[in-house]
């Protein structure tokens, strides 16, 4: 890999250390374990030994392998694009270009969040209605929603999501530095969304995605299937007919049909196995049939 790409990855903090991973784990535990005890969505949530160690395995595997691999792959995609367009890929890449890059970094960060979340809504929705569901099913496999379960993500899922978000934003001229400003907060927010907290954000429930809102996305209850795809702003679900946000809790989580095995290697290989059935709860199309999109906005009091 060219030295420039390595330098860019280092400056973008794309090459984490074991120490940082351990420190982040400790910080999240100190913050979220007491909160889950004080404000539980499900009191006395059982801690299954096998599930706990699988989640913990993902906590180390993702930053030390999956994210490094996907970020490196995205960087190589950029190298190919820049070569094809006749552009020079150097450290100025981090400053952006054109009108977008001349905006204050804080304003770029806000715009990047909106654009990235809009793109993520559609890529996330695509994972649910295509054969790529097999990769995304890994993220839906936890049967107990806790902050540690947020780490489950298949490398292919991570690469596709990052590529679809990052490439358009960079080609529009935004500075990656602006995105790096908010990455730590977004990481914490995503972990919070998967926690066993009963928070619905009250009057802001339709402004920001909350833990309760996101649990309705992870449920296997029929009313919640293919709902609440947005990761940050529920407005996308509202606009495109996939919002479902009753104030009560869903009853169950996981994958109904052909669930992934409860092992790291088994889940990494799971998408490549020949499955015995389609995943009907995700409305995947059968051979020769168009996919169906359910559209409803529900807000039950």
d(CA 240, CA 179): 26
Of the ranges 12-26, 57-71, 91-105, 158-172, which one carries the lowest mean pLDDT score?
12-26
Task: State both tokens at 278.
Answer: 């389609």
pLDDT band at 170 (very low <50, low <70, confident <90, very high): confident
According to the model, what pLDDT value does residue 279 have?
A: 46
Percent of residues, the chain, with pLDDT higher than 70: 84
Task: State both tokens at 274.
Answer: 């020949």
Instruction: List Cβ neighbours of 252 (8 Å cut-off, separation of 6 or more).
Output: 143, 219, 220, 221
The runs of H, that is alpha helices, within 92-154 are: 98-101, 105-129, 133-140
| pLDDT tens by residue, 244-256 | 999 999 999 999 8
According to the model, what pLDDT value does residue 299 have?
A: 41
d(CA 84, CA 249): 50
Higher pLDDT, 49 or 173: 173
Q: What are the residue boundaries of the structural domains of the chain, listed by start?
A: 3-282
| pLDDT tens by residue, 232-248 | 999 999 999 999 999 99
Computed over every residue of the chain, the mean pLDDT equals 85
Angle between helical axes of 155-171 and 133-140 (0-180°, round to 10): 110
Phi, psi of 207 (to 5 degrees): -100, -45
Q: What is the mean pLDDT of residues 83-109?
A: 84
| pLDDT tens by residue, 30-47 | 999 999 999 999 998 887
pLDDT band at 19 (very low <50, low <70, confident <90, very high): confident
According to the model, what pLDDT value does residue 129 have?
A: 93
Contact 273, 219 (CB under 8 A): no
pLDDT band at 15 (very low <50, low <70, confident <90, very high): low
Give the SS3 label for residue 26. Answer: helix
- Tokens 């569901």, residue? 133
Task: State both tokens at 212.
Answer: 């309760």
Task: State both tokens at 237.
Answer: 């679900």
pLDDT band at 101 (very low <50, low <70, confident <90, very high): very high
Task: State both tokens at 43.
Answer: 């009191």
Contact 253, 145 (CB under 8 A): yes
d(CA 219, CA 159): 24
Q: What is the mean pLDDT of residues 153-176?
A: 91
pLDDT at 120 over 90: yes
d(CA 296, CA 144): 26
**DSSP string of 35-96, one letter each residue:** HHHHSBSSTT----HHHHHHHHHHHHHIIIIIHHHHHHHHHHHHHHHHHHHT---SGGGGG-
């Amino acid at each position: 890999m060219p030295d420039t790409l390595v330098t860019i990855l280092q400056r973008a903090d794309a090459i984490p250390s074991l120490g940082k991973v351990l420190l982040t784990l400790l910080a999240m535990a100190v913050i979220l374990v007491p909160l889950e005890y004080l404000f539980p969505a499900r009191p006395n949530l059982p801690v299954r030994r096998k599930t706990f160690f699988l989640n913990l395995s993902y906590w180390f595997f993702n930053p030390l392998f999956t994210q490094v691999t996907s970020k490196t792959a995205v960087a190589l995609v950029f190298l190919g694009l820049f070569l094809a367009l006749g552009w020079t890929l150097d450290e100025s890449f981090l400053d952006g270009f054109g009108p977008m890059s001349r905006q204050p970094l804080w304003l770029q960060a806000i715009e990047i969040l909106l654009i990235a979340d809009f793109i993520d809504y559609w890529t996330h929705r695509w994972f649910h209605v295509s054969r790529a569901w097999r990769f995304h099913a890994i993220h839906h496999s936890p049967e107990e929603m806790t902050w540690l379960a947020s780490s489950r993500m298949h490398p292919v899922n991570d690469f596709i999501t990052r590529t679809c978000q990052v490439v358009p934003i960079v080609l529009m001229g935004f500075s990656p530095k602006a995105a790096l400003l908010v990455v730590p907060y977004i990481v914490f927010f995503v972990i919070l969304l998967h926690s066993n907290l009963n928070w619905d954000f009250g009057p802001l429930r339709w402004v920001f995605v909350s833990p309760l809102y996101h649990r309705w996305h992870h449920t296997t209850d029929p009313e919640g299937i293919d709902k609440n795809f947005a990761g940050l702003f529920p407005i996308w679900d509202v606009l495109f007919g996939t919002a479902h946000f009753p104030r009560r809790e869903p009853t169950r989580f996981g994958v109904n049909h052909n669930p992934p095995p409860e092992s790291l290697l088994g889940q990494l290989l799971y998408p490549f196995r020949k499955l015995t059935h389609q995943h009907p709860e995700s409305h995947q199309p059968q051979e020769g049939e168009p996919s169906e999109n359910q559209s409803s906005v529900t807000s039950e009091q």
